[in-house]
Amino acid sequence: MTKNEYMKTLSHNLRRLPKEDFDRALEYFEEYFAEAGEENEEQAIQDLGSPEEAAKELITTLAAKNVTEPPTTVKRGISAVRVGILGICAAPIALPLIAALLLLALMLVLVIFMCVLCAFLFAVSLLASGIIATGGGLALIFSSFANGLATVGVGLVFIGIGLIAAHAFYCFAGWLIARFSQLLGRIVAKRRPEHGHDEKVKTGRKAS
């Protein structure tokens, strides 16, 4: 197997990773081969193992890394959950256990989604109510200044509470997703065997 064939197969096996992790992984392997040199290409391939094995090891390493380095943003958290699910599928786990874990993960995703959706709808309803009340109050000022001013005040209060709720919703969603990605990472870490060249494949970067 040549380096190009190895990279093509590896790329295919890593295609479901989030783009950032995918690009970083391929960059690492390209650098690995470049440092080894063309004359040591075969030895480099032997050291890395088959592209299928290298891909599985990289995915499980990324998933296990979520335990010690949880995501700090909602976007990154969603990617981490995706990697965690891929890690469960890549880990050497019996098929019935994989099915049970994936079903559990699906249920947890649905619970998280419903919690986040409820918080989101609550924040949106507050903002919408505040905007409507403020608009109505401004129109009412011309016929009844006191009532209009009071209505505008209530509307602004609702907008303020809605903005606070929206921020709280965003923080809550990030926290919940991060904890879920850590849970998936722990499952993968417990089932992940030790590999001889594990230290060389670290989320797309060489270990120092």
Write the pLDDT tens digit of every residue in 104-124: 777 777 877 787 788 788 888
Q: Which two tokens stand for residue 52?
A: 């299928």
Total Cβ atoms within 10 A of residue 177: 24
Mean pLDDT of 187-203: 56
For helices 3-13 and 19-36, the axis angle rounded to 10 degrees is: 160
Token code pair at residue 201? 């494949």
- Residue 103's contacts (CB-CB under 8 Å, 6 or more residues apart) are none
Quick: pLDDT tens for 55-95.
888 888 888 887 777 777 767 777 787 787 787 777 766 56
Mean pLDDT, rounded, for 124-136? 89
Say if CB 90 and CB 60 are below 8 A apart: yes
Mean pLDDT score of the chain? 79
| Whether this model's pTM surpasses 0.75 | no
Q: Give 73-77's long-range contacts (Cβ < 8 A, gap of 24+).
A: 73/174, 74/170, 74/173, 74/174, 74/177, 77/173, 77/174, 77/177, 77/178, 77/180, 77/181
